[in-house]
Amino acid sequence: ANLSLWGGRFSGGPADALTELSRSTHFDWRLAQYDVAGSRAHARVLHRAGLLSEAELDGMIAALDRLSADVASGEFAPQPQDEDVHTALERGLIDRAGPDLGGKLRAGRSRNDQIATLVRMYLRDQALRIAGGVLDVVEALCEQAAAHPEAAMPGRTHLQHAQPVLLGHHLLAHAWPLLRDVDRLRDWDARAALSPYGSGALAGSSLGLDPAVVAEELGFDGPVPNSIDGTAARDVVVEFGFVTAMIAVDLSRISEEIILWATKEFGFVTLDDAFSTGSSIMPQKKNPDVAELARGKAGRLIGDLTGLLATLKGLPLAYNRDLQEDKEPVFDACDTLEVLLPAVAGMVATLTFHPERMAELAPQGFSLATDIAEWLVREGVPFREAHEVAGECVRQCEAQGKELHELTDSELASISPALSPQVREVLTVSGSLASRDAVGGTAPVRVAEQLEQARTELERW
Ligand code: ARG
């Protein structure tokens, strides 16, 4: 018997090589329950259109319910000859409902509109799950910020000491991009919330089936406005791939810093034993593998996104079989984040910070030079000149191997008459931090407000 969905026109079955190439059940089977849900909704619109009697509808729904239970228990699984999830489930339905009734369900739908719909359903659920995992990382960052309200650290640009900042300010600077990622997922969902079901192969259905009814039953806001677009477009899938890649990139940036902070040279953090690994040869080693895997897997998600874009480039409308390649990249992104997010959240939550070490380094590298310049500006010195004067302070310190606060009163005065001993007020880390008290700045009062703001964002979800 020809087990495919298109026996009539063909004199023989497909070549083994085609079957092997064509098969997608090893990755699309995860859509099986969404496919069954789509089938229930489709059966109902067939009934509304007078194409299934009341009894046939009842029989169809009962068979689909049994099929769904058998899929869930593993009792029903795809066989090697099943091309894809749709083919396998049609076989399962016909086994349960008989060929006469089971064979009626395919009317007015195509695998092209089915698959476009199922991917959206699956990714919408995944988006919620991923958002939850991202928020756990944000929460861990907020907890660490809250636990260290006073700790200062060297803020860096170009990885060089720049100006002292509060540790909490820095940690929250990692929380905000992640909150925007969650926002992106929510925003993406508005575009994913339109159902392609009813688009048929590309031109829509002639059988009087209402796509709006199916859309509503499947939890969508409505049907897509164009059946060609509904079956051919994958921008929604690509956009999901972008947001997940962005999440991974954001995690990689936190991770890179944790890797640096955990080095002997920095000594800013100690990783918890539960979130670090040892070496098979060097007994002393404690390695930041979670952070390194996060950094590495970001590359993988970028690959998923670019692979997907490459698949779509130049593809004519409407459905082309190339589109079957849309699923593995985003499934990989989902699976990767599913294991990555809890590990990163746990690693961040269990970090032990060493505030003394960070405080010791915070003023080093002449990171208070800007404070001298800005103090001079408050004394009426033009910034251009103030910058020169502060630069001269740095030059002299560098020559003598000392820090800015170690310049004597006479050294200060000889650099510029405007440099009275009062300048020392800003030559401390706490003075510098407190002075940056505009909205968004690193002053402890502002960071405390910012933490509340981030927590309010967390509550919103
Ligand atoms: N398995 C296909 C996919 O994932 C859907 C089937 C459409 N196949 C076809 N020959 N029209 O895109």
Whether 11 is a known active-site residue: answer no
| Ligand 1 pocket residue status of 112, Cβ below 6 Å | yes
3-state secondary structure of 137: helix
Residue nearest to atom 4 of ligand 1 (CA): 324
Find out whether the beta carbon of 24 lies less than 6 Å from any atom of ligand 1: yes
53, 279, 420, 430: which one is catalytic? 279
- Residue 16 burial by CB count (10 A; 0-12/13-18/19+): exposed, middle or buried? exposed
Residue nearest to atom 6 of ligand 1 (CA): 111
What CATH number matches the domain at 364-460, 1.10.357.20, 3.30.70.260, 3.40.50.1820, 1.10.40.30? 1.10.40.30
* Separation of alpha carbons 240 and 107, rounded Å: 31
Give buried/exposed letters for 247-259 (b at 16+ CB in 10 A, else e).
Answer: bbbbbbebbbbbb
Ligand 1 closest atom vs CA 323 = 12
CB-side neighbour CA atoms (13 Å) of 305: 18
Distance CA 6, CA 19 (A): 14
Q: What is the mean pLDDT of residues 87-94?
A: 98
- Please name the residue whose Cα sits nearest to atom 12 of ligand 1: 324
DSSP 324: G
How remote is the CA of residue 24 from the centroid of ligand 1, in Å? 9
pLDDT at 296 over 60: yes
* Residue 163, beta-bridge partner list: 155
For 171-217, how does the pLDDT look when each residue is reduced to its tens digit (9 = 90+)?
999 999 999 999 999 999 999 999 999 999 999 988 999 999 999 99
The reply to whether omega before 88 is within 30° of 0 (cis) is no
pLDDT of residue 205: 87
Q: Which of 147, 212, 245, 158 is nearest to 447 (CA)?
A: 147
Is the pLDDT assigned to residue 425 strictly greater than 90? no
pLDDT at 150 over 80: yes
Q: Out of 1.20.200.10, 1.10.357.10, 3.40.50.300, 3.40.1260.10, select the CATH number for domain 112-149+160-202+221-360.
A: 1.20.200.10
Nearest CA to 42 out of 90, 106, 86, 89 is that of 106
Closest CA to 150 of 429, 370, 351: 429
Annotation marks residue 174 as catalytic: no
CATH of domain 14-107: 1.10.275.10
- Residue 40 CA to residue 34 CA, distance in Å, equals 10
Amino acid 11: pLDDT: 83
Confidence bin at 282 (pLDDT 50/70/90): confident
Chain centre to alpha carbon of residue 164: 30
pLDDT score recorded for residue 146:
98
Spot the catalytic one: 26, 158, 280, 410: 158
The finding on whether 111 has its CB within 6 A of some atom of ligand 1 is: yes
| 218 DSSP 8-state letter | T
Q: Considering only CA atoms, which of 219, 294, 196 is closest in space to residue 252?
A: 294
Task: For residue 111, report the distance from its CA to the centre of ligand 1, in Å.
Answer: 6
Angstrom distances, CA of residue 436 to CA of 169, 426, 433, 440: 12, 11, 6, 9
Look at residue 242 in the predicted model and tell me its pLDDT: 98
Ligand 1 pocket test, pick from 23, 28, 115, 237 with the greatest ligand atom count within 8 Å of Cβ, gives 115
Establish whether residue 232 lines the binding site of ligand 1, counting it when its CB lies within 6 angstroms of any ligand atom: no
- CA of 136 relative to ligand 1 center, distance in Å: 37
Q: Which atom of ligand 1 is nearest to the CA of 319?
A: 11
Could you tell me if the CB of 311 is within 6 A of ligand 1? no
Residue 426 has pLDDT above 90, yes or no: no
Which one-letter amino acid corresponds to residue 256?
A: E
Whether 356 shows a pLDDT value over 80: the answer reads yes
Question: What residue spans in the chain does CATH classification 1.10.40.30 cover?
Answer: 364-460
Q: Can you name the residues that pair with 270 across neighbouring β-strands?
A: 352
Q: Decide whether any atom of ligand 1 lies within 6 Å of the 321 Cβ.
A: yes
* CATH 1.10.275.10-classified regions of the chain: 14-107
Q: Which pLDDT does position 340 carry in this prediction?
A: 98
Percent pLDDT > 70 in the chain is: 99
What pairs with residue 153 in β-bridges?
165
Question: Which one, of 346, 430, 399, 440, lies nearest residue 153 by Cα?
Answer: 430
pTM above 0.90, yes or no: yes
Mean pLDDT, the chain, rounded, equals 96
Q: Does the Cβ of 324 fall within 6 Å of ligand 1?
A: yes
Report how far ligand 1's centroid is from the alpha carbon of 99 (Å). 22
Ligand 1 centroid, distance to 375 Cα (angstroms)? 68
**What's the confidence (pLDDT) of residue 3?**
59
Q: For ligand 1, is residue 113 a contact (CB within 6 Å)? A: no
CA–CA separation, 230 and 319 (whole Å): 9
For residue 440, give the DSSP letter. T
User: What separation in Å is there between the alpha carbon of 39 and the centre of ligand 1?
Assistant: 16
- Tens-place pLDDT, residues 152-176: 999 999 999 999 999 999 999 999 9
Mean pLDDT to the nearest integer, 9-38: 95
| Angle formed at CA 110 by CA 49 and CA 38, multiple of 5 degrees | 65
The answer to whether residue 458 scores a pLDDT higher than 90 is yes
The predicted pLDDT at position 1 comes to 42
State the burial class of residue 106 (Cβ atoms within 10 Å of its Cβ: 0-12, 13-18, 19+): middle
Find the mean pLDDT for residues 284-304. Answer: 96
The per-residue DSSP string of 55-71 comes to: HHHHHHHHHHHHHHHHH
CA 199 → CA 113, 115, 224, 331, 382, distances in Å? Answer: 6, 11, 8, 24, 68
* pLDDT(337) > 70: yes
Residue 237 Cα to ligand 1 middle (Å): 16
Contacts of 46 (CB under 8 A, 6+ apart): 52, 57, 104, 105, 107, 108, 207, 209
Q: Is the CB of 109 under 6 A from ligand 1?
A: no
Which residues in the chain are classed under CATH 1.20.200.10? Answer: 112-149+160-202+221-360
